[in-house]
Amino acid sequence: MLRISNNVSIADWEIQIEQVRAQGPGGQNVNKVASAVHLRFDIQRSTLPPFYKERLLALSDQRITRDGVIVIKAQKHRTLELNKEDALARLKALIKSATAQQKVRRPTRPSRRAKRKRLDNKTRRGQTKALRGRVKP
């Protein structure tokens, strides 16, 4: 069971984990041992609350297919167990990031003092550059 928050968790039967061979360079074992993991999680068939499902399906993430299935490939580590843990942690992070509330941005204006300081700096900089011109004899 994967615990997302105090109220929300995902049962083991909802997560499909498949062993595959890792890609890329490796040692003598790389072509013989299936230590990488493909994790599949179907959002529509899951027992997640509707709010979570809506937010996940609205994400524009390349790990989510058109059918609403999250596919995560984990092959960082050399052992199957560590790759499973990594894939589950990445699934949990994806779900948490989808449900995190964005902070509302309130537009602000620069203060009068900040405007004055900026203009003074511009004037001072302009005077410095004006002194770099050709000297008249």
CATH code, residues 2-99:
3.30.160.20
Provide the angle, in degrees to the nearest 10, between the axes of the packed helices 50-58 and 80-99.
100
* Contact (CB, 8 A) for 71 and 43: no
Domains of the chain by residue range = 2-99
What's the pLDDT at 85?
Answer: 92
* Contact (CB, 8 A) for 39 and 65: no
pLDDT band at 118 (very low <50, low <70, confident <90, very high): very high
* Contact (CB, 8 A) for 3 and 9: yes
Starting at the edge strand that comes first in sequence, how are the strands of the sheet with 15-20 ordered?
Answer: 15-20, 36-42, 69-74
**pLDDT tens for each residue of 21-34:** 777 766 666 666 77
pLDDT: which is higher, 102 or 118: 118
**pLDDT tens for each residue of 32-76:** 677 889 999 998 888 888 888 888 888 888 888 888 899 999 888
Place of tokens 């995190």: 100
